[in-house]
């Protein structure tokens, strides 16, 4: 397979790593206290509490200064919102973020804290995008997509680049998947540098559009009334992105799903056994291992995508 024919290449990821150096946290690999050689890549320790800052900062850094100065607009359920707001603040440019009504309030408040203007919208990916593009056109802003964009994919791919550098003999990398920005970016980096390593996506059973798409060989869209059922608010997207799907269908080995109970169990395990505060979406990959959704041998990395949780929900999970 010609990896250079894909929308994002290893060179793009390496260039993104240079742009975000000194701004994004280079998160470590933490060996987890469980049977087997299993590591967590704790992006909950990332700036803004999520991997999303990597792609957002790379996207803004890739813009010419005069165009970037006009400001940016984005749409997000929370983590991309915070990433774009933080990146805009660091560049000193205005940001408008369209956020659905069901987003955790703590993510909304933290986005505001970075100085962004917030616009609320119904719980629909399509409506969210429509409003963001209308704001882009009416205010002459730059739209920063949450996942289906080369600079975003390359920025998220720096997670995989760091894994390849820190654990060059890794056998398996498990990645949560919503729109596919993180999974596609990591797949580019890992498959370019460690071709024999397996890259596996994980999503909730209640929002399994990516798995359906992967199996069907084409993008399958789920209605928002279905995807919003999961507690994993970071992967409530209704369909995978086109560029993301092109990369994922070419490079990813499999996509599996887990139950809500498995996610709760993994979130609680991280808190009590690994001493990591992880949002439900971030616990998806460990949930796949603990529930038996995947059976893997060798050195395995579980991506912890973020740690921005609703306090009441988190307390209920930990105490159950």
Residue 52 annotated among the catalytic residues of the structure: yes
Cβ partners under 8 Å of residue 112, min gap 6: 118
Mean pLDDT across the chain, nearest whole number? 96
Phi and psi, residue 40, nearest 5°: -105, 140
Residue 112 — φ and ψ, nearest 5°? -60, -40
**128-178 tens-digit pLDDT:** 899 999 999 999 999 999 999 999 999 999 999 999 999 999 999 999 999
End-to-end CA distance of the chain: 47
Residues 178 and 217 in one domain: yes
Final residue in a domain of this structure, among 143, 178, 205 = 143
Mean pLDDT of 38-62: 98
What range defines the domain where residue 112 resides?
Answer: 53-143
239 has catalytic annotation:
no
For range 16-28, the mean pLDDT: 98
More confident residue, 106 or 19: 19
Domain end among 102, 126, 143: 143
Statement to judge: residues 174 and 134 lie in one domain: no
- pTM score, whole prediction: 0.96
pLDDT of residue 235: 94
Does the pLDDT at position 77 exceed 80?
no
118 and 189 part of one domain: no
- pLDDT at residue number 123: 80
Q: What is the mean pLDDT of residues 196-201?
A: 98
Q: Are residues 158 and 253 in the same domain?
A: yes
Q: What is the mean pLDDT of residues 241-269?
A: 98
> How many other C-beta atoms can be found within 10 angstroms of the C-beta atom of residue 113?
12
Cross-strand pairs, 50: 306
pLDDT at 267 over 90: yes
Tokens of 247: 């990369």
Residues 33 and 135 reside in one and the same domain: no
Which of 50, 62, 76, 77 is labelled catalytic? Answer: 77
Indicate whether 9 pLDDT > 90. yes
Q: What is the CATH number of the domain that holds 275?
A: 3.40.50.1100
Model confidence at 14, in pLDDT bands (50, 70, 90)? very high
pLDDT of 186 strictly over 80: yes
Last residue in a domain, options 100, 119, 143: 143
- Count of domains forming the chain: 2
Residue 13: what pLDDT? 98
Burial 248-285 (b: 16+ CB within 10 A, else e): bbbbbeebbbbebebbbbbbbbbbeebebbbbbbbbbb
Residues 306 and 246 placed together within one structural domain of the fold: yes
């Amino acid at each position: 397979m010609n990896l250079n024919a894909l929308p994002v290449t290893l060179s793009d990821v390496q260039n993104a790593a240079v742009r975000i150096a000194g701004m994004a946290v280079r998160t470590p690999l933490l060996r987890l206290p469980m049977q087997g050689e299993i590591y967590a890549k704790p992006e909950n320790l990332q700036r803004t509490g999520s991997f999303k800052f990597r792609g957002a900062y790379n996207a803004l850094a890739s813009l010419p200064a005069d165009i970037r100065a006009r400001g940016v607009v984005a749409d997000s359920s929370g983590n991309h919102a915070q990433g774009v707001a933080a990146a805009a603040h660091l560049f000193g440019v205005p940001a408008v973020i369209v956020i659905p009504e069901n987003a955790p309030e703590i993510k909304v408040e933290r986005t505001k804290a970075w100085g962004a203007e917030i616009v609320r919208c119904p719980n629909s990916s399509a409506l969210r995008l429509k409003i963001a593009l209308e704001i882009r056109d009416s205010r002459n802003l730059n739209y920063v997509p949450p996942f289906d964009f080369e600079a975003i994919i390359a920025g998220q791919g720096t997670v995989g680049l760091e894994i390849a550098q820190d654990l060059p003999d890794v056998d398996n990398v498990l990645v949560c998947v919503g729109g596919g920005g993180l999974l596609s970016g990591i797949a580019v980096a890992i498959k370019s540098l460690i071709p024999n390593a397996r890259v596996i996506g994980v999503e909730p059973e209640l929002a399994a559009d990516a798995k359906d798409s992967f199996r069907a060989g084409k993008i399958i869209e789920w209605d928002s009334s279905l995807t919003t059922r999961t507690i994993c608010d970071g992967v409530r997207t209704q369909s995978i992105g086109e560029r993301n799907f092109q990369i994922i269908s070419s490079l990813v080995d499999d996509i599996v799903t887990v139950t809500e109970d498995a996610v709760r169990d993994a979130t609680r395990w991280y808190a009590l056994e690994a001493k990591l505060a992880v949002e439900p979406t971030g616990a998806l990959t460990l949930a796949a291992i603990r529930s038996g959704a995947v059976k893997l041998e060798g050195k395995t990395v579980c991506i912890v995508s973020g740690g921005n949780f609703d306090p009441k929900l988190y307390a209920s999970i930990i105490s159950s």
